[in-house]
Structure 1
Amino acid sequence: MNDPRIDRLAGVLLRHSLNLDKGDIFQVNASIAAKPLVAAIFREAATMGVFPVIRWQDDEIGRLSYDLLTVGDADTARFLERSNQWEITRWQDIKANLALRAPENDQENSGVPREKLQMTGKAGEPLQRLIIDERQWALFYWPTPAQAQKAGLSNSDYFDFVLDVSLIDYDRLYAAEQVLARRMEQADQLRIVAPGTDLTFSIRGLPVVCCYGRRNVPDGEVYTAPVRDSVNGRITYNVPSNMWGQTYKNVSLEFADGKIVQASCDGDNDALNRIFDADEGARYVGEFSFGVNPLIRRPIGSTLFDEKIAGSIHFTPGAAYARADNGNKSMIHWDLIQIQRSDYGGGEVWFDGELIRRDGLFVPEELQGLNG
């Protein structure tokens, strides 16, 4: 596949996202379908003097691996503990992780028992925290026909969309995001109002992080976390979201003193609540974020893209990130998204009684550079 944008993307991922230095070792965790990008990554690595270690993945084989496991079995528990410890040991020499996913079927794990998903998630949590909190990492979704179909686009149009939104001017985006970050750092009480939503919480004292291609590609969000016990009210999300191999629509959550006390959706409410019962932290929120990528305007069925939608927010049950840590720990981190533009029903965000964004557009003049 000869497309110069793929080589440009490889450069962005290694030089900007992972920020690698000569001699660094990094892992490429890639779906087989992403081979054209992996090849470009290896070519770019050769020019930089850095060393990739490749690990191939396949969705079907990943699903079949769950058949090897038995809940409550001592041998299974020992295998999971030892295999994760092996990984932690090898990561002492690895600086960064580049995850190149190419999903062919995001329902592949829908038939896997929830108990197995919870068991493997809990066993792998120390490794995941090591990579996420202590290493450089980046995530990219290579375009596939399955994802194009979900987005309602032809393969070629979807391919162009993915590369276009991934190769935006990240330096310009960062400059605009910093203005919003400063306003968030000064804020205390936030209020979110939208159809099915009237939510209040505090972000006082929590760090604010600008996202501009360092972790995710594409990128475009500014996030923090709520004070853990400060969340009260209700929020209803208008973007479908997948978790544990199942898609949930119109998820609505009611909070009291930070905790999800009621959860419902258009569909299987029992399955939804099992997610929030995964552990204590799953019923508390670890992230609040604005989506600000000007080229992403509608959901395409992939959280990596949908959470960056211009005019959106996401309010995330589960683990907080180390860079904006409100103390919430969990095996899950579920980016549930609400688009607030007028074509999606509208919405408002208030900082300490000041209207900051209405119907997806920032109101204060100094923030209007993020309106796209």
Structure 2
Amino acid sequence: MKPSFEVCLERYAGLVIKIGAALRKGQSLWINSNLDSAPFARLLATKAYEAGAAHVQMDWVDEASTRIRYELAPEDSLRTPPEWRTKAMEAHMEAGGSFLQIYAPNPSLLKGIAPERLAIGNKAQAEAMQGFRRYVNQNLNAWSMASVPTPAWAAAVFPELSWEEAEEALWDRIFQVNRVYEEDPAAAWEAHLAALNRRKDYMNAKRYRRLHYKGPGTDLTIGLPEGHIWKAATSETPDGIVFLPNMPTEEIFTMPHKDEVNGTVASTLPLPYAGRVIDGFSLTFTDGAVTGFSAKEGYEPLKSLIEMDEGSRRLGEVALVPHHSPISNLGITFYNTMFDENAACHLALGNAYAFTLENGTAMNKDELASRGANTSLAHVDFMMGSGELDIDGETADGTLEPVFRKGNWAFS
């Protein structure tokens, strides 16, 4: 018998604070939330103070106002977002605070906005966030992302249901994939993370030079840099705080070599990006860079992503997720990358994580680039896995070994 909704909500909030954000007594917490998620954000604040937080800073985002700005603000305003917010976020991280985002964007928020205005605003915002992103990309602070239903998101996932029914259905799925229904959710998470770590350790022991992908519309080879490190689920700050960046999570991931990607990859799930949906798209790579692309829906936002800067046309992450993951087994599209990326193998256009390379966090940009790490304002995951995907790992002597068969791990 499932616990009551109230019990589940308390459990979920507790997991997000203790396992996700890994809040420590005396630490400050920054919570970024849309207005629709305000009740849950306040519950998180309660849990944070109960865990000994020194201060909880609420950072509210009004999506309706965001759309109004893209519709009506002067173009110069889109090019120069206010500095006060990003400076405050940087100061919070510099002081050692933890960061938590309630991630539940409206996948169609900016549909109909002129593509050139979206491109200007997206790039300007990415540039403004570079200082803050340094703390996240290098795991200098604990940070996490979790989701709760909003009207727009629930309607996108369950368009055939009323809002009340859609909200209830989405809460059920969120609780399920975050192991909230388990008798001991924390123990269930511990067992799950241990299983992911076993996969990670296997891949790190193999030291594959390349991965070869074959699937419907996909024939792709991805080189892996010398010294690449496979990571799984949890991350660790320099002072030893272990945290969980994404809730839920089913992936192991590493860094691809920015110049050694060749072939074509086809998407398998819609990609919500900057308030638009990109779907049915394909990318062709030559020596690491996108040299051709197409999309059945969202061609313009895909084009603006690829053209954001030199690095946004190259890969920064390769992630492995079995087709029979708990999220994929639900058989629904979440229109939320944090969920959908944990339903399928995925890649990311843009910036690479320095911590997925040996001694990477001690290197400067030039040193990272010389080792094959990509640098970009962007980091956008897109799903390309399915039940028909095969992946082979290429060893140092050129031998090919099965890693995935029919979308799932080829080894136990």
TM range, smaller chain: 0.7 to 0.9
Match of 1:304 in 2: 338
**CA deviation digits over 1:234-254, x for unaligned, max 9?**
111111112222211121111
Match of 2:11 in 1: 8
**CA deviation digits over 1:32-84, x for unaligned, max 9?**
222332232233223211132212222112333446854457x964x645653
Match of 1:183 in 2: 202
CA shift for structure 1 position 324: 1.7
| 1:335 and 2:357 are equivalent in the alignment | no
TM-score by length of 2: 0.80
Matches of 1:331 and 1:206, distance apart in 2: 21
Given the superposition, is the C-alpha separation of residues 267 and 32 from structure 1 closer, same or farther in structure 2, using an over 3 Å criterion?
closer
Matches of 1:274 and 1:76, distance apart in 2: 15
**Aligned residue runs from structure 1 range 121-200, under 5 A:** 121-133=126-138, 134-152=140-158, 154-155=165-166, 156-167=168-179, 169-185=188-204, 186=206, 187-200=208-221
Matches of 2:341 and 2:79, distance apart in 1: 35
Match of 1:63 in 2: 67
| 1:89 and 2:91 are equivalent in the alignment | yes
Matches of 2:79 and 2:269, distance apart in 1: 37
Over the matched positions of the two proteins, sequence identity in percent amounts to: 23
- In structure 2, the gaps of 5 or more residues are 181-187, 235-242, 358-371, 395-399
Given the superposition, is the C-alpha separation of residues 244 and 2 from structure 1 closer, same or farther in structure 2, using an over 3 Å criterion?
closer
Given the superposition, is the C-alpha separation of residues 15 and 209 from structure 1 closer, same or farther in structure 2, using an over 3 Å criterion?
same
Secondary structure of 1:217's aligned partner: coil
Given the superposition, is the C-alpha separation of residues 226 and 35 from structure 1 closer, same or farther in structure 2, using an over 3 Å criterion?
same
Match of 1:295 in 2: 326
Matches of 1:276 and 1:317, distance apart in 2: 8
Matches of 1:157 and 1:86, distance apart in 2: 37
| 1:317 and 2:349 are equivalent in the alignment | yes
Given the superposition, is the C-alpha separation of residues 119 and 38 from structure 1 closer, same or farther in structure 2, using an over 3 Å criterion?
closer
Aligned partners of 2:386 and 2:407 also within 8 Å: yes
Given the superposition, is the C-alpha separation of residues 132 and 5 from structure 1 closer, same or farther in structure 2, using an over 3 Å criterion?
farther
Letter of the 2:390 partner, please give it: E
Aligned partners of 2:29 and 2:98 also within 8 Å: yes
Match of 1:98 in 2: 100
Secondary structure of 2:345's aligned partner: strand
Letter of the 1:215 partner, please give it: P
TM-score by length of 1: 0.88
Match of 1:370 in 2: none
Aligned partners of 1:97 and 1:131 also within 8 Å: no
Aligned partners of 2:103 and 2:147 also within 8 Å: yes
Matches of 1:236 and 1:92, distance apart in 2: 40
Matches of 1:231 and 1:30, distance apart in 2: 36
| 1:261 and 2:282 are equivalent in the alignment | no
Q: Which piece of structure 1 moves more, 201-210 or 167-176?
A: 167-176
CA shift for structure 1 position 265: 1.1
Secondary structure of 1:266's aligned partner: strand
Aligned residues: 356
Secondary structure of 1:252's aligned partner: strand
Matches of 1:86 and 1:17, distance apart in 2: 22
Q: Please report the RMSD computed on the Cα atoms of aligned residues, expressed in angstroms.
A: 2.4
- In structure 1, the gaps of 5 or more residues are 367-372
**CA deviation digits over 1:111-151, x for unaligned, max 9?**
16122222222222222233443221111111123322222
Aligned partners of 2:107 and 2:336 also within 8 Å: no
**CA deviation digits over 1:180-218, x for unaligned, max 9?**
212322222210000111111222421111015700111
Match of 2:25 in 1: 22
